[in-house]
Amino acid sequence: MLSLAVLATAVGSLPGAPHDPVYENKPLSQWLVQTNAWTKPWELTREAADAVSAIGADAVPFLLSEFERGGPNGTQAATALASLGSKAALALPTLARYIDDPKRGPNVVYLMHKTGEAGLPYLLKALSSTNPSVLVQAIHYLAERGKAAEPALPLFIQLMDHPDKWVRNRATLVLGGYPSAAGTNLSALRRALSDSAPDVRRSAASVLGRLGTVAKPAAPELVRLLDDPDPYCALLASNALAKIDPTALPRRHP
């Protein structure tokens, strides 16, 4: 029977198969099986992570092959690719093929995020995914880019009409990070105050409150939200009005 080391070398040497790089006389395929199995089985041990870092960009073809193949090492390969950061950028065109994959799609978005600036165009494309989990993550990671993600604002607004409430909610929340575009975002936020999902209505009220007086045109919708059947929606609407236009709050009788 072949030993693991011989087997890994044999697989890596097959025609067309990516080379299985070696660090400290141990193939990368063997480093990938070294995980924190009792606590986080997808997480590489410190020694394995150091091995991936030392191999660097040379590890990408093999890791990408393992990710595509799935199986026992697929998750660890994704973890290893993420740890390489921008050095894994050459994997992006292949990873983009899996953006709608039900299982691998969320991992793909995370990997796109971890590659830094090179991943930004791919995150923008991910906003057209058919996978709601991918959309939620893509919106989240793009929002972390701040001003660099401003080209995505029209797409965020479109996603506020998505059938999935969690997509709508995430798209609504991130609009609060772009106060300079409040005028453009205001009409979408006002519509969100009537969303069928309480979470979305809450998010819209919260974001409008953070925008302050520039959100004054939304005061009539916020006043109506004071009677919302969800008490937290009503509370957030009241808090928002206090910041936007206190005169719009109903007077309390002594």
Per the domain annotation, does 61 fall within a domain?
yes
Contact 239, 209 (CB under 8 A): yes
Residues of the chain scoring pLDDT < 50: 1-15, 253-254
Structural domain of 67: 4-192
What is the distance, to the nearest Å, from the Cα of residue 127 to the centroid of all Cα atoms in its chain? Answer: 10
What is the reported pLDDT for 3? 36
Close Cβ partners of 233 (under 8 Å, ≥ 6 residues apart): 198, 201, 202, 205, 225
CA distance linking residue 19 with residue 4, whole number of Å: 16
Per the domain annotation, does 181 fall within a domain?
yes
pTM strictly above 0.85: no
What is the reported pLDDT for 249? 85
What is the reported pLDDT for 26? 93
CA distance linking residue 120 with residue 150, whole number of Å: 11
Per the domain annotation, does 168 fall within a domain?
yes
What is the reported pLDDT for 124? 95
Per the domain annotation, does 92 fall within a domain?
yes
What is the reported pLDDT for 17? 63
CA distance linking residue 21 with residue 58, whole number of Å: 7
The tally of domains found in the chain comes to 1
What is the reported pLDDT for 1? 35
- With 0-12 / 13-18 / 19 or more C-beta atoms within 10 angstroms meaning exposed / middle / buried, residue 88 is buried
Q: What is the pLDDT of residues 58-76, one digit of tens each?
A: 999 999 999 998 776 788 8
What is the reported pLDDT for 203? 97
CATH code at position 33? 1.25.10
Q: What is the pLDDT of residues 118-149, one digit of tens each?
A: 999 999 999 999 999 999 999 999 999 988 88
